[in-house]
Amino acid sequence: MLKLENLKKSYAVSSDDRKAKGRPAAGHTLAAIDDVTLEVKEGEMFTLLGPSGCGKTTTLRSVAGLERPDAGEITLTDTVLFSRGRGRDREVPINRRGLGMVFQSYAIWPHMSVFDNVGFPLRVMPRRLRPARKVVEERVMRVLATMELDQFAGRPATKLSGGQQQRLALARALVTEPPLLLLDEPLSNLDAKLRESLRLELKRLQNEIGITSIYVTHDQVEALALSSRIAVMSKGRVAQIGTPQEIYAKPETKFVAEFIGNSNFLEGSVTKTAAGSSLIATSYGDLTVVTDKALRVGDRYVLGVRPESIEVLSADSAPASSHGFAGKVLARSFLGDAIDYVIDIGGFEVRARANPSVTIAPGSRAVLRIDPASITLIPGAGK
């Protein structure tokens, strides 16, 4: 559906940038996106996820035509939207790309009604493509009904709530029936409860309409909940692409493991290997790891362990084993459906999330059992 190949975009460093720690000196350039290559399949909700400044919005704006990359190629189905440095320079203007876009701000027209806001993109189409008035009315009312805004069609747009205005912006982007919908952090201005409600609505909309979408966010929960696949970005590059399950359970780098959810990181070396599993020695004890990787004795790894993969037991009820550690509970927090623990295992503080049916008081001894299949192995310990 959509292909991005070797996309690059740099900006000249300003005097303000020069003052920032770690930035290159004035006269140099700063890479916003650096050799970004990815493919979005038809019908996917594809998410660009990463911290501020990682290049996700620049990538999205390049697809929209709001940014002009320095090099690379963007292809939508069989149409080359942009190409530079590949022997066939080409750039399709923004207004001819036919894409829908929803910005972080609602960007609604305050002097128009809800109906007129949604109908405006159809009315300004080139005359040869512009639908008849009756068709415009039918399409506007259909998309408003999908967004559950049809009863507000005649209301001034500014008289809607924040969540309704965001749905109005989505309706306006969808009414032209674009082949690709671009969403630039559309829920970030909403409060937590409303964000959760609209996440579910976006998921429902994606399932019902099946439109291909690229969604930009820095919110890990949002990305995991909405996405068909996720591209995690760091410093202008794609660190990993995968389904939400793959990104969460099998991060390929420490950055991805740290950015998606929470993890405990331990360094260790392989001391014994067997079919399907290995024994890894850490400074705090040995751990058995289930893996299909071909490990060698002496290889060093960073071990990532999710808090929810750790079973917390009272030291009185369970002995330590090769699948975990023993330690002292430093703190606990009751969350309703779980209890978060901080447990010292000899100078290293482990975060664990356990079932609330068993509670262990701070100061008590505890045993941590870790599922060997849940441990992530990341090459390059000590780097």
**Confidence at residue 76, expressed as pLDDT on a 0 to 100 scale:** 95
**Does residue 93 carry a pLDDT above 80?**
yes
- Express each pLDDT in 352-371 by its tens digit: 999 888 889 999 999 999 98
List all residues 6 or more positions away from 35 whose beta carbon is below 8 Å from its beta carbon.
Answer: 6, 7, 8, 72, 237
User: Residue 113 — very low, low, confident or very high, per pLDDT cuts 50/70/90?
Assistant: very high
Class of residue 124 by CB neighbours under 10 A (exposed 0-12, middle 13-18, buried 19+): exposed
Contact assessment for residue 114 and residue 157, using Cβ atoms and an 8 Å cutoff: yes
- If DSSP codes are grouped into helix, strand and coil, which group holds residue 158? helix
**Does residue 293 carry a pLDDT above 70?**
yes
**Does residue 133 carry a pLDDT above 60?**
yes
**Does residue 383 carry a pLDDT above 50?**
no
Q: Which domains does the chain have, with CATH numbers?
A: 2-99+178-257 (3.40.50.300), 264-379 (2.40.50.140)
Look at 127 and 66; give whichever has higher pLDDT: 66
- Express each pLDDT in 139-166 by its tens digit: 999 989 888 899 999 999 999 988 888 8
Judged by average pLDDT, the poorest of 58-67, 132-141, 284-293, 325-334 is 284-293
Facing residues of 282 across strands? Answer: 268, 285
Taking each helix axis as running N to C, give the angle between helix 162-174 and helix 114-123, from 0 to 180 degrees, rounded to the nearest 10.
20
**Confidence at residue 242, expressed as pLDDT on a 0 to 100 scale:** 96
The C-alpha atoms of residue 246 and residue 229 are separated, in whole angstroms, by 9
- Express each pLDDT in 260-285 by its tens digit: 988 999 999 999 998 888 999 999 98
Mean pLDDT across the chain, nearest whole number? 88
**Does residue 86 carry a pLDDT above 90?**
no
Look at 201 and 95; give whichever has higher pLDDT: 95
The C-alpha atoms of residue 181 and residue 171 are separated, in whole angstroms, by 11
The type of residue at 206 is: Q
**Does residue 198 carry a pLDDT above 50?**
yes
User: Residue 27 — very low, low, confident or very high, per pLDDT cuts 50/70/90?
Assistant: low
- Express each pLDDT in 318-335 by its tens digit: 655 556 788 999 999 998
Class of residue 105 by CB neighbours under 10 A (exposed 0-12, middle 13-18, buried 19+): middle
In this prediction, what percent of the chain has a pLDDT beyond 90? 54
Per-residue tokens: 182: 């671009």
